[in-house]
Amino acid sequence: MFAPVLPVDIEARAISKTFGAVPILTNVSFRLARGEATALVGANGTGKSTLLRCLMGLIPTSDGSVHLLGQQTNKATVQEMRKVRAQVGLVSQKHNLVPRLSVLSNVVHGLLGKHPGLRHWSHALAPRASREAAMRALERVGLADFAHRRADRLSGGQSQRVAIARAIVGAPKVLFADEPCASLDPSAGEDVMELFFRLVRDENVTVVFTSHNIEHALKYGDRVLGLAQGRVQLDATAASLKPADLRGLYD
């Protein structure tokens, strides 16, 4: 019997990226299967965030191609890209909530990709189904009681949980997380990582996350991709690695 072949949700084919004349990413290739969590690690400035932005189609590659959920991003029409983006969520290092709006409105914003337009700007305007989906997402991150609080009256850990609710409200197939707990203290950071990975594992979401925390990379990643000066230096299952194998990336 052959093991079933999982669909590939994200593929980088020999991608390179330069800013001006400066090479940032060079000949980066990998394929990430459905439901796989990949930790992207490497020293400061080695190109992790740039790679995430290329994978999401937010910036063009200089060479090579990205295939996200079956769509070659540099060949996609605006409508095709919109369709892909509606199935993709992002959790960034700083939660990027709109401070003056309610927690619930901020979570409703997670549906803007699926329903572009003013109605998904504020929970008061949003259709009932969207408000209910946002409430369910808040329940899943344990913050239903905070739905009507202003976003700027939350702690860092609570804000990041709201950002997670916003990322999952549209039931994405793929989630990108750029140092999701970098701004949190170790205990709040651990809670956020536990919660995030419990939710994504429940839904078989494909995840790419960056982290400077070697323990997190090995604990939450199925696979670890290590970048050094914009090249893939390490590509292995987390189970086959020890912390020392990753420390070399920081020398």
Ligand X SMILES: Nc1ncnc2c1ncn2[C@@H]1O[C@H](COP(=O)(O)OP(=O)(O)OP(=O)(O)O)[C@@H](O)[C@H]1O
Residue 19 interacts with ligand X (CB under 6 A)? yes
Residue number, 47 or 57, with CB nearest to ligand X: 47
Q: How far apart are CA 102 and CA 73, in angstroms?
A: 34
Residue number, 43 or 86, with CB nearest to ligand X: 43
Residue 44 interacts with ligand X (CB under 6 A)? yes
What residues contact 228, with CB distance under 8 A and at least 6 apart? 42, 43, 46, 249
Residue number, 110 or 221, with CB nearest to ligand X: 221
Residue 48 interacts with ligand X (CB under 6 A)? yes
- How many residues would you count in the chain? 251
Residue 50 interacts with ligand X (CB under 6 A)? yes
* Contact stretch for ligand X (CB under 6 A) within 43-51, 102-110, 201-209, 234-242: 43-51
Binding residue for ligand X (CB under 6 A) from 47, 64, 113, 189? 47
CB of 45 to ligand X, least distance (A): 4
Residue number, 48 or 109, with CB nearest to ligand X: 48
Q: Which residues between 61 and 100 bind ligand X (CB under 6 A)?
A: none
Residue 45 interacts with ligand X (CB under 6 A)? yes
Q: How far apart are CA 163 and CA 83, in angstroms?
A: 21
Q: Under the rule (CB under 6 A), what is the footprint of ligand X?
A: 19, 24, 42, 44-50
